A and B are shown apart, each in its own frame.
Chain A
Amino acid sequence: MNDFTIRPVGDRALTVEFENQVSRAVSQKVTALQDQLLSREIPGLGELVPTYRALLIHYDPLRIDPDELARTVSLAAGDLPPAASISGTVVEIPVLYGGEYGPDLEDVARAEDKAPEEIIRIHSGSDHYVYMLGFAPGHPYAARAEKPFSIRRRETPRLKVPGGSVGVQRDMSDIIPFEMPTGWNVIGTTPILVCDYRRENPFLLKAGDWIRHVPIDLSRFREIRRQAELGEYRCRRYERGSGR
Protein backbone atom coordinates (compact mmCIF):
# COMPACT_ATOMS: atom_id res chain seq x y z
CA MET A 1 0.00 0.00 0.00
CA ASN A 2 1.14 3.51 -0.79
CA ASP A 3 0.03 6.83 0.64
CA PHE A 4 -0.88 9.18 -2.15
CA THR A 5 -3.28 12.00 -3.06
CA ILE A 6 -4.68 12.79 -6.49
CA ARG A 7 -5.55 16.44 -7.19
CA PRO A 8 -6.63 18.34 -10.29
CA VAL A 9 -4.12 20.79 -11.75
CA GLY A 10 -6.13 23.09 -13.98
CA ASP A 11 -8.60 21.47 -16.36
CA ARG A 12 -6.22 19.17 -18.22
CA ALA A 13 -3.88 17.61 -15.69
CA LEU A 14 -3.86 15.64 -12.46
CA THR A 15 -1.08 15.36 -9.92
CA VAL A 16 -0.39 12.28 -7.86
CA GLU A 17 1.45 13.28 -4.70
CA PHE A 18 3.37 10.83 -2.53
CA GLU A 19 5.07 11.63 0.81
CA ASN A 20 6.26 15.23 1.01
CA GLN A 21 10.01 14.58 1.16
CA VAL A 22 13.08 14.29 -1.02
CA SER A 23 14.07 10.65 -0.90
CA ARG A 24 14.98 7.99 -3.37
CA ALA A 25 12.21 5.75 -2.02
CA VAL A 26 9.56 8.37 -2.81
CA SER A 27 11.12 9.32 -6.15
CA GLN A 28 11.16 5.69 -7.18
CA LYS A 29 7.41 5.45 -6.50
CA VAL A 30 6.94 8.41 -8.84
CA THR A 31 9.00 6.87 -11.63
CA ALA A 32 7.43 3.43 -11.06
CA LEU A 33 3.96 4.97 -11.48
CA GLN A 34 5.14 6.75 -14.61
CA ASP A 35 6.41 3.45 -16.05
CA GLN A 36 3.14 1.68 -15.14
CA LEU A 37 1.03 4.29 -16.94
CA LEU A 38 3.34 4.42 -19.96
CA SER A 39 3.07 0.65 -20.35
CA ARG A 40 -0.73 0.90 -20.77
CA GLU A 41 -2.62 2.26 -23.71
CA ILE A 42 -4.78 4.94 -22.09
CA PRO A 43 -6.64 7.02 -24.71
CA GLY A 44 -6.38 10.75 -24.03
CA LEU A 45 -3.39 10.35 -21.71
CA GLY A 46 -0.87 13.14 -22.31
CA GLU A 47 2.59 13.80 -20.99
CA LEU A 48 3.80 12.53 -17.66
CA VAL A 49 6.17 14.77 -15.70
CA PRO A 50 7.94 13.15 -12.73
CA THR A 51 9.29 15.41 -9.97
CA TYR A 52 10.61 14.76 -6.41
CA ARG A 53 7.37 13.53 -4.88
CA ALA A 54 4.70 13.99 -7.54
CA LEU A 55 3.77 12.77 -10.98
CA LEU A 56 1.98 15.33 -13.13
CA ILE A 57 -0.36 13.64 -15.60
CA HIS A 58 -1.58 15.70 -18.54
CA TYR A 59 -4.76 14.54 -20.27
CA ASP A 60 -7.09 15.59 -23.05
CA PRO A 61 -10.48 16.31 -21.43
CA LEU A 62 -12.15 15.97 -24.83
CA ARG A 63 -11.02 12.32 -24.95
CA ILE A 64 -11.05 11.04 -21.37
CA ASP A 65 -13.20 11.69 -18.33
CA PRO A 66 -11.03 12.95 -15.43
CA ASP A 67 -12.82 10.76 -12.86
CA GLU A 68 -12.20 7.68 -14.97
CA LEU A 69 -8.54 8.64 -15.38
CA ALA A 70 -8.23 9.27 -11.62
CA ARG A 71 -9.63 5.77 -10.94
CA THR A 72 -7.13 4.15 -13.32
CA VAL A 73 -4.27 6.15 -11.81
CA SER A 74 -5.40 5.37 -8.28
CA LEU A 75 -5.41 1.63 -8.95
CA ALA A 76 -1.92 1.81 -10.46
CA ALA A 77 -0.53 4.01 -7.66
CA GLY A 78 -1.90 1.71 -4.98
CA ASP A 79 -0.22 -1.31 -6.47
CA LEU A 80 3.30 -0.33 -7.47
CA PRO A 81 5.99 -2.98 -7.79
CA PRO A 82 8.53 -2.73 -4.95
CA ALA A 83 11.53 -0.74 -6.14
CA ALA A 84 14.97 -2.30 -6.02
CA SER A 85 16.44 0.72 -4.31
CA ILE A 86 19.91 0.57 -5.85
CA SER A 87 18.94 -0.27 -9.42
CA GLY A 88 19.05 2.04 -12.39
CA THR A 89 21.40 3.06 -15.15
CA VAL A 90 24.65 4.81 -14.26
CA VAL A 91 25.86 7.37 -16.80
CA GLU A 92 29.52 8.39 -16.57
CA ILE A 93 30.01 12.13 -17.05
CA PRO A 94 33.60 13.31 -17.60
CA VAL A 95 34.35 16.55 -15.71
CA LEU A 96 37.30 18.94 -15.83
CA TYR A 97 37.38 20.42 -12.31
CA GLY A 98 38.63 23.81 -11.11
CA GLY A 99 40.42 26.75 -12.74
CA GLU A 100 38.43 28.64 -15.34
CA TYR A 101 36.34 25.49 -15.85
CA GLY A 102 35.27 25.44 -12.19
CA PRO A 103 35.43 29.04 -10.94
CA ASP A 104 33.74 28.26 -7.61
CA LEU A 105 35.82 25.20 -6.64
CA GLU A 106 38.05 27.26 -4.33
CA ASP A 107 35.02 28.90 -2.66
CA VAL A 108 33.39 25.52 -2.10
CA ALA A 109 36.66 24.13 -0.67
CA ARG A 110 36.90 27.10 1.73
CA ALA A 111 33.26 26.79 2.79
CA GLU A 112 33.64 23.07 3.43
CA ASP A 113 37.06 23.55 5.08
CA LYS A 114 38.64 21.00 2.76
CA ALA A 115 41.30 21.00 0.05
CA PRO A 116 39.96 21.41 -3.54
CA GLU A 117 41.29 17.91 -4.31
CA GLU A 118 39.12 16.53 -1.50
CA ILE A 119 36.05 18.30 -2.93
CA ILE A 120 36.76 16.64 -6.29
CA ARG A 121 37.22 13.24 -4.58
CA ILE A 122 33.87 13.58 -2.78
CA HIS A 123 32.01 14.81 -5.86
CA SER A 124 33.40 12.07 -8.13
CA GLY A 125 33.44 9.41 -5.42
CA SER A 126 29.78 8.40 -5.35
CA ASP A 127 26.79 8.15 -7.66
CA HIS A 128 24.29 11.01 -7.87
CA TYR A 129 20.63 10.01 -8.27
CA VAL A 130 18.68 12.01 -10.90
CA TYR A 131 15.42 13.07 -9.23
CA MET A 132 14.09 14.97 -12.21
CA LEU A 133 14.87 17.03 -15.26
CA GLY A 134 13.60 20.57 -15.53
CA PHE A 135 14.39 24.28 -15.39
CA ALA A 136 15.88 23.94 -18.89
CA PRO A 137 15.90 21.13 -21.47
CA GLY A 138 18.00 18.20 -20.26
CA HIS A 139 18.90 19.91 -16.96
CA PRO A 140 19.20 17.28 -14.19
CA TYR A 141 18.49 17.76 -10.49
CA ALA A 142 20.73 15.06 -8.99
CA ALA A 143 21.86 14.34 -5.44
CA ARG A 144 24.12 11.96 -3.54
CA ALA A 145 23.51 10.44 -0.13
CA GLU A 146 27.17 10.33 0.82
CA LYS A 147 29.08 13.32 2.29
CA PRO A 148 26.74 16.17 1.30
CA PHE A 149 28.30 19.63 1.15
CA SER A 150 26.84 22.30 3.41
CA ILE A 151 27.34 25.18 0.96
CA ARG A 152 24.12 26.69 -0.41
CA ARG A 153 23.50 28.61 -3.60
CA ARG A 154 25.66 31.65 -4.30
CA GLU A 155 24.23 34.83 -2.85
CA THR A 156 24.65 36.51 -6.22
CA PRO A 157 23.87 34.20 -9.12
CA ARG A 158 26.25 34.20 -12.08
CA LEU A 159 24.44 35.84 -14.99
CA LYS A 160 26.05 33.57 -17.57
CA VAL A 161 27.83 30.26 -17.36
CA PRO A 162 28.71 28.14 -20.39
CA GLY A 163 26.90 24.93 -21.33
CA GLY A 164 28.40 21.92 -19.54
CA SER A 165 28.98 23.79 -16.26
CA VAL A 166 28.67 21.41 -13.30
CA GLY A 167 27.16 23.13 -10.27
CA VAL A 168 26.72 22.03 -6.66
CA GLN A 169 24.78 23.12 -3.58
CA ARG A 170 24.43 20.95 -0.46
CA ASP A 171 23.85 17.34 -1.63
CA MET A 172 22.70 18.44 -5.10
CA SER A 173 24.61 18.52 -8.38
CA ASP A 174 23.49 19.72 -11.80
CA ILE A 175 24.74 20.24 -15.35
CA ILE A 176 23.86 23.43 -17.24
CA PRO A 177 22.75 22.43 -20.77
CA PHE A 178 23.58 25.69 -22.55
CA GLU A 179 24.73 29.21 -21.65
CA MET A 180 22.43 30.60 -18.96
CA PRO A 181 22.38 32.11 -15.46
CA THR A 182 22.88 29.91 -12.39
CA GLY A 183 23.05 30.38 -8.66
CA TRP A 184 24.75 27.05 -8.06
CA ASN A 185 28.50 26.84 -7.33
CA VAL A 186 30.29 25.85 -10.54
CA ILE A 187 33.13 23.45 -9.67
CA GLY A 188 33.80 21.98 -13.11
CA THR A 189 32.72 21.64 -16.73
CA THR A 190 31.84 18.57 -18.74
CA PRO A 191 32.80 18.50 -22.43
CA ILE A 192 29.74 16.40 -23.33
CA LEU A 193 26.34 17.71 -24.41
CA VAL A 194 23.46 16.90 -22.04
CA CYS A 195 21.09 17.65 -24.88
CA ASP A 196 21.94 17.21 -28.52
CA TYR A 197 19.03 17.93 -30.84
CA ARG A 198 20.68 16.01 -33.67
CA ARG A 199 19.93 12.76 -31.83
CA GLU A 200 16.56 11.07 -32.03
CA ASN A 201 16.39 11.15 -28.24
CA PRO A 202 18.25 14.41 -27.58
CA PHE A 203 18.57 13.86 -23.84
CA LEU A 204 21.45 12.12 -22.09
CA LEU A 205 19.59 11.57 -18.82
CA LYS A 206 16.15 10.80 -17.45
CA ALA A 207 14.62 10.78 -13.97
CA GLY A 208 15.72 7.63 -12.14
CA ASP A 209 19.20 7.47 -13.75
CA TRP A 210 22.43 7.90 -11.78
CA ILE A 211 25.35 10.20 -12.62
CA ARG A 212 28.96 9.24 -11.93
CA HIS A 213 31.38 12.13 -12.40
CA VAL A 214 34.80 11.13 -13.75
CA PRO A 215 37.66 13.65 -13.36
CA ILE A 216 39.55 14.38 -16.59
CA ASP A 217 42.41 16.70 -17.59
CA LEU A 218 42.43 19.50 -20.14
CA SER A 219 43.76 17.46 -23.07
CA ARG A 220 41.10 14.76 -22.53
CA PHE A 221 38.49 17.55 -22.17
CA ARG A 222 39.45 18.95 -25.57
CA GLU A 223 39.42 15.52 -27.17
CA ILE A 224 35.98 14.65 -25.80
CA ARG A 225 34.56 18.07 -26.65
CA ARG A 226 35.69 17.64 -30.26
CA GLN A 227 34.05 14.19 -30.42
CA ALA A 228 30.89 15.50 -28.73
CA GLU A 229 30.58 18.37 -31.20
CA LEU A 230 30.81 15.88 -34.05
CA GLY A 231 28.12 13.83 -32.33
CA GLU A 232 30.53 10.92 -31.93
CA TYR A 233 31.07 10.75 -28.16
CA ARG A 234 29.06 8.18 -26.21
CA CYS A 235 29.06 8.22 -22.41
CA ARG A 236 29.79 4.95 -20.68
CA ARG A 237 26.58 3.46 -19.24
CA TYR A 238 26.08 0.46 -17.01
CA GLU A 239 23.49 -1.01 -14.69
CA ARG A 240 24.06 0.02 -11.09
CA GLY A 241 25.34 -2.78 -8.90
CA SER A 242 26.55 -4.74 -11.93
CA GLY A 243 30.16 -3.81 -11.25
CA ARG A 244 32.12 -1.96 -13.88
Chain B
Amino acid sequence: MNTHTLPRPKAPHSTTLQKAQLEKTPLEKTPLEKTPLEKTPLEKTPLEKTLFSKARLTRALLPETAPRAAFGQIVRNEARLAWRLPAGLIFGVGLPVLLLIIFNEIPSFHQVQASLGGLTAFDVYVPILIAMVIAIIALISLPGPLVTYRDQGILRRLSTTPVPPSWVLAVQLVIQFCITITSLLILIVVSITAFGLDVPKNPGALVLAIVLSIAAMFAIGLCIAAIARSGIAARAIGAAAFYPMLFFSGMWFPRELMPALLQNISNVTPLGAAVEAIQDSMQGQFPPAEPLLVLAGYALVFALIAGRFFRWE
Protein backbone atom coordinates (compact mmCIF):
# COMPACT_ATOMS: atom_id res chain seq x y z
CA MET B 1 0.00 0.00 0.00
CA ASN B 2 1.79 2.99 -1.27
CA THR B 3 0.16 5.49 1.04
CA HIS B 4 1.99 3.88 3.86
CA THR B 5 5.12 2.42 2.35
CA LEU B 6 7.00 5.69 2.09
CA PRO B 7 9.96 5.42 4.39
CA ARG B 8 9.00 6.53 7.82
CA PRO B 9 11.24 9.29 9.02
CA LYS B 10 13.69 8.49 11.76
CA ALA B 11 11.66 11.04 13.66
CA PRO B 12 14.41 12.39 15.88
CA HIS B 13 11.82 14.37 17.80
CA SER B 14 9.23 11.76 18.42
CA THR B 15 9.41 9.91 21.67
CA THR B 16 10.05 6.23 22.01
CA LEU B 17 6.49 5.89 23.17
CA GLN B 18 5.16 7.34 19.95
CA LYS B 19 7.39 5.07 17.94
CA ALA B 20 6.14 2.10 19.87
CA GLN B 21 2.59 3.19 19.23
CA LEU B 22 3.35 3.54 15.58
CA GLU B 23 4.63 -0.01 15.30
CA LYS B 24 1.42 -1.32 16.78
CA THR B 25 -0.74 0.77 14.55
CA PRO B 26 -2.69 -1.54 12.25
CA LEU B 27 -2.43 0.95 9.41
CA GLU B 28 -3.03 -1.64 6.74
CA LYS B 29 -6.49 -2.28 8.09
CA THR B 30 -7.78 1.22 8.58
CA PRO B 31 -11.11 2.01 6.90
CA LEU B 32 -9.12 4.49 4.83
CA GLU B 33 -8.23 1.65 2.50
CA LYS B 34 -11.79 0.88 1.68
CA THR B 35 -12.97 4.19 0.35
CA PRO B 36 -14.87 3.72 -2.89
CA LEU B 37 -12.63 6.24 -4.63
CA GLU B 38 -9.65 4.02 -4.43
CA LYS B 39 -9.65 1.91 -7.52
CA THR B 40 -7.01 -0.78 -7.49
CA PRO B 41 -4.20 1.60 -6.71
CA LEU B 42 -1.66 -1.17 -6.50
CA GLU B 43 -2.00 -2.06 -10.15
CA LYS B 44 -1.00 1.42 -11.21
CA THR B 45 2.50 1.64 -12.54
CA PRO B 46 4.69 3.95 -10.53
CA LEU B 47 5.52 7.24 -12.18
CA GLU B 48 8.62 6.57 -14.21
CA LYS B 49 11.63 8.71 -13.72
CA THR B 50 12.60 9.12 -17.34
CA LEU B 51 11.78 12.49 -18.84
CA PHE B 52 9.68 11.42 -21.78
CA SER B 53 8.23 8.06 -20.79
CA LYS B 54 4.82 7.37 -22.28
CA ALA B 55 3.07 7.05 -18.92
CA ARG B 56 4.53 10.31 -17.76
CA LEU B 57 3.59 12.14 -20.95
CA THR B 58 0.03 10.82 -20.81
CA ARG B 59 -0.34 12.00 -17.25
CA ALA B 60 1.11 15.40 -18.05
CA LEU B 61 -0.73 15.99 -21.31
CA LEU B 62 -3.88 13.88 -21.49
CA PRO B 63 -5.00 12.72 -18.05
CA GLU B 64 -8.16 10.59 -18.13
CA THR B 65 -9.81 12.88 -15.61
CA ALA B 66 -9.69 16.02 -17.76
CA PRO B 67 -12.89 16.57 -19.77
CA ARG B 68 -11.88 17.04 -23.41
CA ALA B 69 -14.44 19.84 -23.82
CA ALA B 70 -12.34 21.94 -21.45
CA PHE B 71 -9.77 22.33 -24.22
CA GLY B 72 -12.32 24.18 -26.34
CA GLN B 73 -13.21 26.47 -23.45
CA ILE B 74 -9.54 27.33 -22.95
CA VAL B 75 -9.17 28.01 -26.68
CA ARG B 76 -12.14 30.38 -26.53
CA ASN B 77 -10.78 32.35 -23.61
CA GLU B 78 -7.22 32.48 -24.94
CA ALA B 79 -8.52 33.63 -28.32
CA ARG B 80 -10.50 36.37 -26.55
CA LEU B 81 -7.35 37.44 -24.76
CA ALA B 82 -5.36 37.51 -28.01
CA TRP B 83 -8.08 39.72 -29.48
CA ARG B 84 -8.41 42.00 -26.43
CA LEU B 85 -4.66 42.47 -26.02
CA PRO B 86 -3.86 42.92 -29.70
CA ALA B 87 -0.20 44.00 -29.45
CA GLY B 88 0.82 40.67 -30.96
CA LEU B 89 -1.74 41.01 -33.74
CA ILE B 90 -0.65 44.57 -34.57
CA PHE B 91 3.07 43.77 -34.72
CA GLY B 92 2.69 40.28 -36.13
CA VAL B 93 0.12 41.07 -38.81
CA GLY B 94 -0.02 44.85 -39.27
CA LEU B 95 3.67 45.79 -39.29
CA PRO B 96 4.78 43.36 -42.03
CA VAL B 97 1.91 44.45 -44.29
CA LEU B 98 2.84 48.09 -43.65
CA LEU B 99 6.46 47.38 -44.58
CA LEU B 100 5.25 45.55 -47.69
CA ILE B 101 3.29 48.64 -48.77
CA ILE B 102 6.32 50.90 -48.14
CA PHE B 103 8.69 48.63 -50.07
CA ASN B 104 6.19 48.53 -52.93
CA GLU B 105 6.28 52.35 -53.12
CA ILE B 106 10.07 52.42 -53.57
CA PRO B 107 10.54 52.38 -57.40
CA SER B 108 13.97 50.74 -57.36
CA PHE B 109 12.53 47.79 -55.42
CA HIS B 110 10.87 46.51 -58.58
CA GLN B 111 14.02 46.65 -60.72
CA VAL B 112 15.79 43.41 -61.46
CA GLN B 113 19.30 43.55 -60.00
CA ALA B 114 22.23 41.37 -60.96
CA SER B 115 23.69 41.69 -57.45
CA LEU B 116 20.53 40.05 -56.10
CA GLY B 117 20.91 37.11 -58.48
CA GLY B 118 18.52 38.51 -61.05
CA LEU B 119 15.72 39.20 -58.57
CA THR B 120 14.08 42.45 -57.61
CA ALA B 121 14.55 43.84 -54.08
CA PHE B 122 10.82 43.24 -53.57
CA ASP B 123 11.31 39.53 -54.40
CA VAL B 124 14.11 39.42 -51.85
CA TYR B 125 12.17 41.16 -49.12
CA VAL B 126 8.96 39.06 -49.18
CA PRO B 127 10.73 36.01 -47.67
CA ILE B 128 12.42 38.31 -45.14
CA LEU B 129 9.01 39.69 -44.11
CA ILE B 130 7.68 36.15 -43.82
CA ALA B 131 10.59 35.31 -41.51
CA MET B 132 9.94 38.49 -39.55
CA VAL B 133 6.27 37.64 -38.98
CA ILE B 134 7.22 34.21 -37.66
CA ALA B 135 9.93 35.72 -35.45
CA ILE B 136 7.70 38.42 -33.92
CA ILE B 137 4.96 35.95 -33.03
CA ALA B 138 7.35 33.26 -31.80
CA LEU B 139 9.64 35.49 -29.75
CA ILE B 140 7.21 38.15 -28.48
CA SER B 141 3.60 36.89 -28.65
CA LEU B 142 4.17 33.26 -27.64
CA PRO B 143 6.31 33.50 -24.48
CA GLY B 144 4.52 36.56 -23.04
CA PRO B 145 1.24 34.97 -21.90
CA LEU B 146 2.92 31.77 -20.73
CA VAL B 147 5.40 33.60 -18.53
CA THR B 148 2.70 35.93 -17.22
CA TYR B 149 0.44 32.97 -16.40
CA ARG B 150 3.24 31.31 -14.49
CA ASP B 151 4.15 34.57 -12.77
CA GLN B 152 0.55 35.19 -11.69
CA GLY B 153 0.03 31.65 -10.42
CA ILE B 154 -2.51 30.77 -13.14
CA LEU B 155 -0.57 27.65 -14.13
CA ARG B 156 -0.29 26.72 -10.46
CA ARG B 157 -4.04 27.11 -10.03
CA LEU B 158 -4.58 24.87 -13.07
CA SER B 159 -2.30 22.29 -11.45
CA THR B 160 -4.95 21.86 -8.75
CA THR B 161 -7.74 21.17 -11.29
CA PRO B 162 -8.29 18.05 -13.41
CA VAL B 163 -6.97 19.99 -16.42
CA PRO B 164 -3.18 20.00 -16.73
CA PRO B 165 -1.46 23.37 -17.21
CA SER B 166 0.17 21.94 -20.34
CA TRP B 167 -3.17 22.50 -22.07
CA VAL B 168 -2.75 26.24 -21.80
CA LEU B 169 0.65 25.90 -23.40
CA ALA B 170 -0.83 23.75 -26.16
CA VAL B 171 -3.66 26.25 -26.68
CA GLN B 172 -1.13 29.08 -26.94
CA LEU B 173 0.79 27.12 -29.58
CA VAL B 174 -2.41 26.49 -31.54
CA ILE B 175 -3.56 30.11 -31.36
CA GLN B 176 -0.19 31.64 -32.21
CA PHE B 177 0.19 29.13 -35.06
CA CYS B 178 -3.19 30.18 -36.45
CA ILE B 179 -2.28 33.87 -36.16
CA THR B 180 1.02 33.21 -37.95
CA ILE B 181 -0.62 31.34 -40.80
CA THR B 182 -3.30 34.04 -41.19
CA SER B 183 -0.68 36.76 -41.23
CA LEU B 184 1.46 34.91 -43.80
CA LEU B 185 -1.54 34.26 -46.04
CA ILE B 186 -2.42 37.97 -45.98
CA LEU B 187 1.19 38.88 -46.70
CA ILE B 188 1.62 36.48 -49.62
CA VAL B 189 -1.81 37.06 -51.18
CA VAL B 190 -1.43 40.87 -50.99
CA SER B 191 2.07 40.64 -52.50
CA ILE B 192 0.80 38.59 -55.41
CA THR B 193 -2.50 40.31 -56.13
CA ALA B 194 -1.63 43.91 -55.33
CA PHE B 195 2.10 44.19 -55.81
CA GLY B 196 2.81 41.81 -58.68
CA LEU B 197 4.85 39.18 -56.89
CA ASP B 198 5.17 35.98 -58.90
CA VAL B 199 3.08 33.09 -57.64
CA PRO B 200 5.43 30.82 -55.63
CA LYS B 201 6.75 28.23 -58.06
CA ASN B 202 7.11 25.38 -55.57
CA PRO B 203 4.20 25.71 -53.13
CA GLY B 204 4.86 22.30 -51.52
CA ALA B 205 8.44 23.25 -50.69
CA LEU B 206 7.25 26.66 -49.52
CA VAL B 207 4.81 25.08 -47.06
CA LEU B 208 7.55 22.77 -45.79
CA ALA B 209 10.00 25.66 -45.41
CA ILE B 210 7.44 27.79 -43.57
CA VAL B 211 6.35 24.97 -41.25
CA LEU B 212 9.96 24.16 -40.37
CA SER B 213 10.67 27.85 -39.77
CA ILE B 214 7.64 28.11 -37.46
CA ALA B 215 8.72 24.96 -35.61
CA ALA B 216 12.25 26.30 -35.08
CA MET B 217 11.13 29.75 -33.97
CA PHE B 218 8.29 28.52 -31.72
CA ALA B 219 10.73 26.15 -30.02
CA ILE B 220 13.02 29.12 -29.34
CA GLY B 221 9.99 31.07 -28.04
CA LEU B 222 9.07 28.23 -25.69
CA CYS B 223 12.64 28.19 -24.49
CA ILE B 224 12.33 31.88 -23.61
CA ALA B 225 9.11 31.07 -21.77
CA ALA B 226 10.95 28.34 -19.91
CA ILE B 227 13.83 30.46 -18.68
CA ALA B 228 12.27 33.93 -18.22
CA ARG B 229 11.10 34.59 -14.67
CA SER B 230 8.75 37.47 -15.45
CA GLY B 231 6.83 38.97 -18.35
CA ILE B 232 9.30 41.86 -18.51
CA ALA B 233 12.25 39.46 -18.64
CA ALA B 234 10.53 37.48 -21.39
CA ARG B 235 10.04 40.61 -23.49
CA ALA B 236 13.67 41.67 -22.93
CA ILE B 237 15.04 38.25 -23.89
CA GLY B 238 12.68 38.09 -26.87
CA ALA B 239 13.83 41.48 -28.14
CA ALA B 240 17.48 40.65 -27.52
CA ALA B 241 17.11 37.52 -29.64
CA PHE B 242 14.90 39.16 -32.26
CA TYR B 243 17.14 41.96 -33.56
CA PRO B 244 20.33 39.95 -34.23
CA MET B 245 18.24 37.22 -35.86
CA LEU B 246 16.48 39.81 -37.99
CA PHE B 247 19.85 41.25 -39.03
CA PHE B 248 21.00 37.84 -40.25
CA SER B 249 17.73 37.35 -42.10
CA GLY B 250 18.89 40.24 -44.29
CA MET B 251 16.35 42.84 -43.16
CA TRP B 252 18.89 45.67 -43.25
CA PHE B 253 21.35 44.09 -45.63
CA PRO B 254 20.08 41.31 -47.91
CA ARG B 255 21.93 38.04 -47.57
CA GLU B 256 23.02 38.19 -51.22
CA LEU B 257 25.03 41.34 -50.47
CA MET B 258 26.59 40.10 -47.22
CA PRO B 259 30.33 39.40 -47.10
CA ALA B 260 31.17 35.69 -47.06
CA LEU B 261 31.72 35.61 -43.30
CA LEU B 262 28.34 37.16 -42.46
CA GLN B 263 26.67 34.96 -45.04
CA ASN B 264 28.16 31.85 -43.43
CA ILE B 265 26.90 32.98 -40.03
CA SER B 266 23.52 33.81 -41.52
CA ASN B 267 23.25 30.29 -42.95
CA VAL B 268 23.28 28.77 -39.49
CA THR B 269 20.95 31.28 -37.81
CA PRO B 270 17.29 30.26 -37.72
CA LEU B 271 16.02 33.25 -39.71
CA GLY B 272 18.91 33.12 -42.19
CA ALA B 273 18.12 29.47 -42.89
CA ALA B 274 14.39 30.27 -43.02
CA VAL B 275 14.87 33.05 -45.59
CA GLU B 276 17.13 30.85 -47.71
CA ALA B 277 14.61 27.97 -47.73
CA ILE B 278 11.62 30.21 -48.38
CA GLN B 279 13.42 32.19 -51.10
CA ASP B 280 14.42 29.02 -52.94
CA SER B 281 10.88 27.63 -52.78
CA MET B 282 9.41 30.84 -54.13
CA GLN B 283 11.82 30.75 -57.05
CA GLY B 284 10.78 27.20 -57.90
CA GLN B 285 13.67 25.14 -56.54
CA PHE B 286 13.43 22.63 -53.77
CA PRO B 287 15.60 24.16 -51.04
CA PRO B 288 18.91 22.41 -50.33
CA ALA B 289 19.15 20.16 -47.31
CA GLU B 290 21.32 22.52 -45.29
CA PRO B 291 18.79 25.23 -44.35
CA LEU B 292 16.06 22.62 -43.74
CA LEU B 293 18.35 20.64 -41.46
CA VAL B 294 19.40 23.82 -39.64
CA LEU B 295 15.71 24.66 -39.00
CA ALA B 296 14.86 21.11 -37.90
CA GLY B 297 17.89 21.13 -35.62
CA TYR B 298 16.81 24.37 -33.94
CA ALA B 299 13.29 22.98 -33.50
CA LEU B 300 14.52 19.79 -31.90
CA VAL B 301 17.24 21.21 -29.67
CA PHE B 302 15.22 24.14 -28.35
CA ALA B 303 12.10 22.02 -27.82
CA LEU B 304 14.18 19.65 -25.70
CA ILE B 305 15.71 22.53 -23.74
CA ALA B 306 12.25 24.04 -23.19
CA GLY B 307 10.87 20.67 -22.09
CA ARG B 308 13.76 20.24 -19.69
CA PHE B 309 13.59 23.66 -18.07
CA PHE B 310 9.93 24.64 -18.26
CA ARG B 311 8.42 25.17 -14.82
CA TRP B 312 4.74 25.39 -14.11
CA GLU B 313 5.26 27.63 -11.10
Q: Do A and B come from one complex?
A: no
